[in-house]
A and B are shown apart, each in its own frame.
Chain A
């Protein structure tokens, strides 16, 4: 195994493009080192991107925030302003692991590890976040939901990596929330998760919404039917019932040691409903 720590994106892309065998990006390393240790992955090349300018920065951009690929969960929380703008995203990211893990783990790593249960991903999808993909041919900005394709698999081509995610400026009266179900209070992986963002008009009517479900399919889902279920409403009981039904209908989970198909399907609706109530209250301010 070769270890490289380039100081430019260009050099990193060059290394990844030319590499034979298996290459891995090292940002927080909280997934990579565990996978290497268990023998799940034996990289021929590890590229540490933390020394590349911008990777550890949170930058105000077009009214929103661009978050570098190596910004840790703790740094995101301490920034404060990102959490005021997109509380759902920061809360979701801060749910990942312990204090020690928060000191290292990154949102972009959570995205590119492509676990269907990744906490930050449904929250980012709900926020309409985009990922900046750098590579040998060009740099492209893509919706976050297009990165993961299946457990452990991404749409990134050889030589490409995600250098940052962008959280756009939310319209006035926008609220966001993320909830997950775990059988304990801390230090666990989502059995079911729901991330929601919504925008209200002055009368409290929902004019736009994005709803994403985690851990109920091979990747986090963006569920248009859930958004349609609540747009035009003031999130009354009937709208919440429609939302829960749409979320359960969209869930296509598996049964594993952490939950059954039946449980996950039902809880997808319950969490979507509860997250919507929180997001609505936040949107009203």
Chain B
């Protein structure tokens, strides 16, 4: 079995690895790159706990070959928080106790983020259908769905606020950078 050399981008960073051609992207992430946030539940694309984004598209990393991701961009749970600052979804999952054992949680977070990037105002039905490929055996889903809906609500509020301030929009990116810098300094 000839090894394959792959250059790709994971969470914005250039990454190179060598893998066997029969290894899945999930195998590569966990066993070669030490990124164990993505979990293996079923290994057959049924449970969604290995969810990542591939060029922005939500996929099961167990159904992607490691060899085929060269030149593409991968997003994993490790890239969700910015330093110590949790993503709003992560914060809401914690606040709402939308997890118990936690194995499915990275997959749910990645999947929910992909939904909210496309649709900031999903109905409960839309949330449930979008997340139908993520299985959770602990929570009964209700708290997960509520956490996603609550995050969407917060995001809409924040978006309304920033669009209300539109005349001063030019200034806001600078402010953001400053804030970010301050956070890092702290």
Contacts and interface: CB of A to CB of B under 8 A. Distances in A.
A30 B59 CA distance: 10
Interface in B91-136: 111, 114-115, 129-134
Interface of A: 1-3, 5, 26, 29-30, 33-34, 36-38, 46, 48, 50, 72, 74, 97-101, 103-104, 186-187
Interface string B1-30: 110100000000000000011101000000
Contacts of B43: 37
Given A98-B48, A101-B133, A187-B132, A3 B67 contact: yes
Nearest to B64: A29
Contacts of B155: none
A34 B44 contact: yes
B154 interface: no
Band of interface residues on B:
20 to 34
Most buried by B among A5, A99, A187: A99
Given A1-B1, A98-B48, A74 B132 contact: no
Query: Which 7 pairs from chain A and chain B are nearest by CB?
Result: A98-B133, A3-B21, A103-B57, A100-B60, A3-B67, A103-B59, A100-B133
A40 B53 CA distance: 27
Contacts of B78: none
Interface of B: 1-2, 4, 20-22, 24, 43-46, 48, 51, 54, 57-60, 62-65, 67-68, 111, 114-115, 129-134
A99 B132 contact: yes
A34 B45 contact: yes
A38 B62 CA distance: 13
Given A36-B22, A104-B59, A3 B65 contact: yes
Given A33-B45, A48-B65, A187-B46, 20 more contacts: A3-B21, A29-B63, A33-B24, A33-B62, A34-B45, A34-B63, A37-B43, A38-B44, A46-B21, A46-B65, A72-B57, A97-B45, A98-B48, A99-B115, A99-B132, A100-B48, A100-B58, A103-B58, A103-B59, A104-B60
A9 to B, nearest CB: 18
30 contacts: A1-B21, A1-B22, A3-B65, A5-B68, A29-B63, A30-B45, A34-B45, A36-B22, A46-B65, A48-B67, A50-B68, A74-B57, A98-B45, A98-B133, A98-B134, A99-B58, A99-B114, A99-B115, A99-B129, A100-B48, A100-B58, A100-B133, A101-B45, A101-B60, A101-B63, A103-B59, A186-B129, A186-B132, A187-B46, A187-B132
B132 A98 contact: yes
B180 to A, nearest CB: 30
A99 B133 contact: yes
Contact of A33 (B20, B63, B114): B63
Nearest to B4: A3
A97 B68 CA distance: 22
Contacts of A29: 63-65, 68
